Amino acid sequence: MSKARSVSIPAIAVALGWALPSQAQTADTAAVQQELATMRAQMQRMAERIDQLESQLNTANAKADAATQAAASATTAATAATTAAAKAPPIKVAWKGAPELSADGGWSFKPRGRMQLDAGYIDAPAGISAGPEHLGVATRMRRLYFGFEGTMPGGFGYRVEADLGNSDVTLTDVYLTYKANKDITLALGHQKPFWGLEEMTSDNFTSMLERASFATAFGFERRLGLSATYSSEKLLIQGGIFSDDLPALAVDTDRNWSLDGRVVAMPKLGNGTLHLGLSAHFHDLNRTANGVRYRARPFLRTTDVRLVDSGAFTASGERLFGAELAYIAGRLHATGEGYQVTVLRPGLADPTFRGAYAEVGYLLTDDETGYKAGVYDRIKPRRPVGKGGMGALQLNVRYDWLDLADAGINGGVQKTAGVSLIWVPIDYVRFVANYGHMWLRDAPVTAAGNPNYSVDAFGMRAQIDF
C-alpha cells in the first residue's frame, strides 16, 4: 500500500508538472491571439484611414490642378486685356460745363442744355384794351433745353436739342454736319437760316433778356434745310436752302421754301475787331391762304400780349435784308443792326416793315467781351466766384425801334430805351436784370382808346448752361 502510494505521488507530481506549463502556454496563446486580433483591427482602421487620406489627397490634387489651370487662363486673359488696353485709344475727358468725352479717330460726345427762369413786371396805362390781367407781375420758364452733340470719324458731327419749357417739347437744333476741310462745313437738318448778328448769337450770351423786337416780329426761326459755311479768321460766308420749321411741315399743304445767305467781314481795327455783315433772304410762302402776321411783345416774354401787331393778311412771299455793324475791343462792345422785310401781295401794294437797334456795352470788371466767328460768345471771368473774385459784371444800354405800318397795314410803331446789368459769377452761370421804357404810336392795342402811350417793363433772369 505504502509502496503504491510512494509510486503515485511522483506520478502525480510529474502529471502536475506537465499540466501547469500547458495551461500557461494555453493562456499565453489566447493573449497573443487577442493582441493579434486587436492589431488586425487597428491595421484595418489604419488602412481605411490611409484610403480616406489618399482619396482626400487625390481630390486636393485635382482641385490644385484646376486652380492652376484657372490661374493660367486668368493670367493669359489678363495679359490679352492689358495688351488690348495698351492698343485701344484712351478716352479723354474735358469739362466744359458738362463732361466732354473724346477719343482718337474723331469721336466725341457732350451733353448740352440750359435753364432760364424769368420774372417780369410790365406797367401799362389804365384801360389797356388787351386786358390788364395779361400784364403786371409774371414768371416763366423761358427755356429748358436738353440735348447732346459730338463728332464722328470722317469729319461728321451732330447736334440734337429740344426745349422742354412750358410743359411741351419743341425741337430746336437737330442736324448733321460734315467738315469738308478746316474752313468749310456743311449742315443738314433743323437750323437757323443765318438771320443776323444777334439772332445767330446764342441766347445764352445775349445782352438783354430778349433779342431785338424785329427778330420776333419778322418771324426769325429755325427751318429744315441744307447749308454751307465758310469760316476763316477774317471772313464768314453762310448760305443755304430751307423749307419750313418742323411743326409747320406737319401740314401736308406746307410748301414754303427760301434761299438765305449772310456775309461777315471781321478785320482787326486798332485793339479790337470790326464786324461788318449783310444778309439776304428770299422766301416763297407758297400758301397764300394761311397768310402772314408781324408782331412783337413789349420787351419781355412774360406776357403773350403784343402791343404792335400787323394782324394776319395774305401774301405770296417775303424779301428780307439785314445789315450788321459792331466793334469789339476788350471790355467794350458797340452794336448796330437793322432789318427790313418787304411782303409780296399779288394785286396789292407790297408793305415794307423795318426795325433796328443800337447798343453799347461795357464790362465793369477786368474781363473781355466774348466774340468768335461772327457772333458774340461766352464771357469768362478772370476772377470767378470761388477763386478769390466776384465774377464779371457788364452794363449795357440799347435803343430799339420797330415800325409795322405801311401800305395800308397799321401795326403800330414801338420804340424802346433799355438798360441791362449782367453778373457772370462763373463761366456757366449768369444773372440778368433789365429795364425798358417803351413809346407806342398808332398801336392797335390802345390805352383807354388812345393808341399813343408809354409802357415800362422790368425783368430778371437766372440762368445756367452747359
Average pLDDT of the segment spanning 350-379: 98
- Residue 365, pLDDT > 60, answer yes
Helical (H) or strand (E) element with 351: none
The least confident of 18-32, 211-225, 350-364, 389-403 is 18-32
Mean pLDDT of the residues in the chain: 90
- Residue 220, pLDDT > 60, answer yes
Tell me what pLDDT residue 10 has. 46
Nearest by Cα to 285 from 346, 214, 222, 339: 346
Average pLDDT of the segment spanning 41-48: 80
CB atoms within 10 A of CB 175: 21
Residue listed under C-alpha cell 467738315: 179
- Residue 192, pLDDT > 90, answer yes
The least confident of 18-22, 146-150, 219-223, 347-351 is 18-22
Nearest by Cα to 204 from 389, 399, 427, 383: 427
Contact 460, 432 (CB under 8 A): yes
Tell me what pLDDT residue 77 has. 75
CA dist., res. 126 & res. 148, Å (int): 47
Nearest by Cα to 445 from 434, 435, 455: 455
pLDDT band per the 50, 70, 90 thresholds, residue 385: very high
| Alpha carbon of residue 151 to chain centroid | 14
pLDDT band per the 50, 70, 90 thresholds, residue 18: very low
User: Any residues with CB less than 8 A from the CB of 380 and at least 6 apart, and which?
Assistant: 367, 368, 370, 392, 427
Q: For the chain, give the percent of residues with pLDDT over 70.
A: 91
Spell out where 315-428 has E strands.
317-329, 332-344, 352-363, 370-372, 375-377, 392-406, 409-426
- Residue 392, pLDDT > 70, answer yes
CB atoms within 10 A of CB 207: 24
pLDDT band per the 50, 70, 90 thresholds, residue 84: low
Average pLDDT of the segment spanning 349-359: 98
pLDDT band per the 50, 70, 90 thresholds, residue 26: low
Name the residue type at position 220. F
- Residue 294, pLDDT > 60, answer yes
Average pLDDT of the segment spanning 21-40: 69
CA dist., res. 292 & res. 295, Å (int): 10
DSSP state of 223: E
320 forms beta bridges with 281, 341
Tell me what pLDDT residue 399 has. 98
Residue 187's Cβ-count burial label (10 Å; 0-12, 13-18, 19+) is buried
* Count of positions (residues) in the chain: 466
Tell me what pLDDT residue 287 has. 64
Average pLDDT of the segment spanning 274-302: 91
- Residue 60, pLDDT > 50, answer yes
Helical (H) or strand (E) element with 30: helix 2-87
- Residue 263, pLDDT > 60, answer yes
Tell me what pLDDT residue 11 has. 45
Contact 427, 380 (CB under 8 A): yes
Name the residue type at position 134. H
- What nine digits make up the cell of 329? 475791343
CA dist., res. 188 & res. 177, Å (int): 6
Contact 272, 332 (CB under 8 A): yes
CA dist., res. 257 & res. 342, Å (int): 16
Stated pTM of the model: 0.80
Name the residue type at position 241. I
Tell me what pLDDT residue 61 has. 73
The least confident of 15-29, 95-109, 241-255 is 15-29
Contact 256, 285 (CB under 8 A): yes
CA dist., res. 62 & res. 337, Å (int): 86
Tell me what pLDDT residue 13 has. 44
- Residue 414, pLDDT > 90, answer yes
Tell me what pLDDT residue 289 has. 56
Tell me what pLDDT residue 53 has. 77
Tell me what pLDDT residue 89 has. 65
